[in-house]
């Protein structure tokens, strides 16, 4: 747990520094465009494969030698290559249809999509196997190059977008090479399209997992929606919306560590659920409180043009705390039953669209501050709904170790 938290804290610090350097070197409108690219990349990484990443963790938690693991990974790798090729083709098409270098500058990220998606799977397996110390090297290799290279880019007036794209790709590739030899032989597969490749036949994709992942990432497209409504509001809203994301990296780490333990436990009491949630959201709460107090310093660090973002940042600090609770309740439900997973996934996905809509409506009413208020409102409602469902799942025993670990054992609710 300590290694996971340390790695996530380092990741969060470097991510904030990268955001600060990009915001300093780009105009608010251009930064909003880069922010949209960041969200698009994370959407691909987290949602590609229709929940196979979580299913791999689930099978690994139940049986480290599960015969289904090689096939699940090979199938996931197919999705990985398809997404990378799709990104590259999309950039090429946009380069011919737009009078801008931006598509060319982000084209190298197609290689990033391959290495990042593979290392993300490996890191999930490391957490399940209690080898969290290996996360530190992976995270450092992935985030250190862009953090370091953007400093001279800012000072020497290099192309900030291209520098970010190339250094991010280099870092992720480096992490892939550094950690590859520590993986299982089936997880080092390079080309899953050969005829003799082990592909999972008859795999049932758990769309509940996928809905949760899609929803968690899709809501970040509110920056694109707000920018479409008003470019000025998007410029005000983009930086605060991206800054609050690293606040939850520690909570996400706690959820990732807790998931295999929750899978292996047949009963979770309401008391344990609430205590665990309060502990899990405490880092995000502390960070959000500090950011709220220090928000007026933002224009001095990033630039005076971001003075209008102070109000939006403070509003989104409340949303960050609620997002931490949403993350933990979603993780808990995913570990309990198929119905609970599907229920959580549908809610998270539906409220992702609701956040995009309410943020856009808020932007038309009160600019960046209105967009932040709309996003905060949707997170509050989602948190309450997930809390209610999580409490209903407590103290309900389930059969463990079966092929379908989600079949409930008959029992009365405590």
How confident is the model over 79-132, as pLDDT tens digits? 999 999 999 999 999 998 877 899 999 999 999 999 999 999 999 899 888 887
| Residue 201 binned pLDDT confidence (cut-offs 50, 70, 90) | low
Calculate mean pLDDT across residues 162-177: 96
| Residue 203 binned pLDDT confidence (cut-offs 50, 70, 90) | low
Q: For residue 413, what pLDDT is reported?
A: 33
Residue 222 has pLDDT above 80, yes or no: yes
pTM for this entry: 0.72
Residue spans per domain, the chain: 52-199, 205-395
Q: For residue 202, what pLDDT is reported?
A: 55
| Residue 6 binned pLDDT confidence (cut-offs 50, 70, 90) | confident
Residue 223 has pLDDT above 60, yes or no: yes
Residue 336 has pLDDT above 50, yes or no: yes
CA-closest candidate to residue 46, choices 111, 108, 116 = 116
| Residue 44 binned pLDDT confidence (cut-offs 50, 70, 90) | confident
SS3 (DSSP) at 63: coil
Q: For residue 2, what pLDDT is reported?
A: 65
More confident position, 90 or 193: 90
**Lowest model confidence (mean pLDDT) among 44-48, 148-152, 176-180, 269-273:** 44-48
Dihedral Cα 148, 149, 150, 152, nearest 10 deg: 100
CA-closest candidate to residue 46, choices 245, 278, 200, 231 = 245
pLDDT digits (tens, 9 = 90+) for 341-384: 899 999 999 999 999 999 999 999 999 999 999 999 999 999 99
**Lowest model confidence (mean pLDDT) among 17-21, 66-70, 406-410:** 406-410
What are the b/e assignments for 207-238, b being 16+ CB within 10 Å?
Answer: bbbbbbbbbbbbbbbbbbbbbebbebbbbbbb
pLDDT digits (tens, 9 = 90+) for 233-246: 988 898 888 888 77
Q: Which residue has the tokens 């991010």?
A: 168
Residue 173 has pLDDT above 70, yes or no: yes
Residue 45 has pLDDT above 90, yes or no: no
Backbone angles phi, psi at 198, to 5 degrees: -80, 105
CA-closest candidate to residue 84, choices 52, 60, 108 = 108
Q: For residue 411, what pLDDT is reported?
A: 36
């Amino acid at each position: 747990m300590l290694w996971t938290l340390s790695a996530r804290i380092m990741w969060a610090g470097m991510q904030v520094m990268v955001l600060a350097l990009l915001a300093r070197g780009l105009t608010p409108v251009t930064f909003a465009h880069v922010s949209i690219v960041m969200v698009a990349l994370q959407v691909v990484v987290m949602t590609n494969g229709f929940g196979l990443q979580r299913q791999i963790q689930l099978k690994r938690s139940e049986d480290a030698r599960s015969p289904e693991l090689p096939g699940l990974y090979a199938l996931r790798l197919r999705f990985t290559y398809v997404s990378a090729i799709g990104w590259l083709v999309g950039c090429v098409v946009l380069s011919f249809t737009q009078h801008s270098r931006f598509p060319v500058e982000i084209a190298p990220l197609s290689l990033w999509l391959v290495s990042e998606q593979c290392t993300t799977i490996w890191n999930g397996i490391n957490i399940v196997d209690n080898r969290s110390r290996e996360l530190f090297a992976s995270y450092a290799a992935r985030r250190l190059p862009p953090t370091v290279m953007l400093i001279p880019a800012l000072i020497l007036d290099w192309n900030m977008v291209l520098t970010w794209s190339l250094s991010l790709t280099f870092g992720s590739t480096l992490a892939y090479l550094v950690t590859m030899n520590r993986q299982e032989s089936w997880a080092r597969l390079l080309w899953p399209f050969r005829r003799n490749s082990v592909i999972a036949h008859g795999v049932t994709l758990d769309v509940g997992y996928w809905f949760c992942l899609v929803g968690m990432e899709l809501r970040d497209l509110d920056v694109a929606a707000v920018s479409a409504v008003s470019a000025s509001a998007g410029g005000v809203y983009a930086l605060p919306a991206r800054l609050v994301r690293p606040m939850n990296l520690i909570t996400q780490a706690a959820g990732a560590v807790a998931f295999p333990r929750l899978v292996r436990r047949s009963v979770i009491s309401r008391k344990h659920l609430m205590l665990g949630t309060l502990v899990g959201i405490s880092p995000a709460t502390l960070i959000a409180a500090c950011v709220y107090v220090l928000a007026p310093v933002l224009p001095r660090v990033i630039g005076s043009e971001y003075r209008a973002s102070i109000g939006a940042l403070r509003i989104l600090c409340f949303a960050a705390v609620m997002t931490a609770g949403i993350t933990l309740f979603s993780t808990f439900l995913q570990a309990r039953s198929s119905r609970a997973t599907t229920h959580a996934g549908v809610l998270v996905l539906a409220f992702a669209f609701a956040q995009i809509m309410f943020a856009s409506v808020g932007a038309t009413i009160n600019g960046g501050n209105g967009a932040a208020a709309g996003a905060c409102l949707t997170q509050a409602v989602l948190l309450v709904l997930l809390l209610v469902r999580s409490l209903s799942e407590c103290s309900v025993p389930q059969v463990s170790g079966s092929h379908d670990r989600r079949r409930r054992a008959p029992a009365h609710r405590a």
